[in-house]
Amino acid sequence: MHDYHLIPLGWLLRQHGHANRMGFFLHIPWPPTRLLVALPDHRRLVESLFAYDVVGFQTEEWLESFRHYVTHEMDGTLGPDDEITLGARTIRAIACPIGVDAKEFIAAANGKAAKSAQMRMLESGVGRSLIVGVDRLDYSKGLEERFAGYERFLQKNPDRRALVYMLQIAPPSRSAVKSYRDIREHLDAMSGRINGEYANIDWVPIRYVNQGYGRDVLAGVYRAARIGLVTPLRDGMNLVAKEYVAAQDPYDPGVLILSRFAGAAAQLPEALLINPYSADDIADAIDRALRMPRAERRERWQAMFDNVRTQDVIWWRRRFTDALQAAALEA
């Protein structure tokens, strides 16, 4: 079972007599104990996770938060091999960061559609450095803070304004929900104001697009970008960061600017890690990325690429299912 919507499903299946192996993977962050206790029925929610044999989290930080709650709020005990016992139930709780299909994405980045998209971006940019962001239109992605950080860069570097441009791809999500409509309205207003204040007759600082594109096209856009801007306020993993790394030209890679509050930051420390709430942090990272020499860009990219390639989605699946099989054998 996957993600928070289905946390109680394992418990319900056990009530119906299902005795087979079951695992649960949480794609979002697990909250610290001080926040989780504010949730109604938090204890019952956590108890339901003990219906599974294996529970997986994206990072060691989320796993440690889960362990802290179980041991401090429920008197659970920790055992060897990632075991946690609560009453009569013992489960395995593991950190198991999800990856991308690296082999497929690397191939896509070298395919015909990607090369066409890359050339379109390079030609339309007329020599300017591209900064790209690709996110669902969601409050957790920090898009308003990202626009504010980019604007701060424009303010602090007037001599470099026309040398860069930002492409933000943000397909709408949950359009029927008012809070999501509000986000879109705010971003529409921010992008319009920034473009109106800083643009000139042959350049606009932001290209803001509210539609989605296929992975092969995105791979070409990523490869054309000097900077990948991935700045969620909080994220379980964020696979855009890994896709950006996978798509880069090994000879002349771009620079990943990554929120330290994304799960991917634990695996990709060679990115420029920033506080997404700080406009100055974002602006300074953009400036540093644009000035970074090729040798440093290649060194940082190679370390990240090695992780993306080895700990891919196949590695993630095998790590979880191996733990699930081992837990069932022990039981």
End-to-end CA distance of the chain: 20
d(CA 315, CA 108) in angstroms, rounded, equals: 20
Q: Does the annotation mark 235 as catalytic?
A: yes
Closest alpha carbon to 96 in 257, 326, 315, 329: 315
- Give the closest residue to 273 by CA, choosing from 288, 256, 290, 287: 256
SS3 of 274, please?
strand
Quickly tell me which residue has 């540093």 as its tokens: 288
> Rounded to whole angstroms, how far apart are CA atoms 151 and 157?
10
Cβ distance 128 to 164 under 8 Å? yes
> Given 27, 68, 82, 249, which residue is catalytic?
27
Task: Round to whole Å and give the CA distance between 3 and 263.
Answer: 15
Asked if 252 is an active-site residue, the reply is no
- Order across the sheet with 77-78: list the strands: 23-25, 54-57, 89-95, 83-86, 77-78
Q: Which of 53, 235, 281, 312 is catalytic?
A: 235
Just list the catalytic residues. Answer: 27, 235
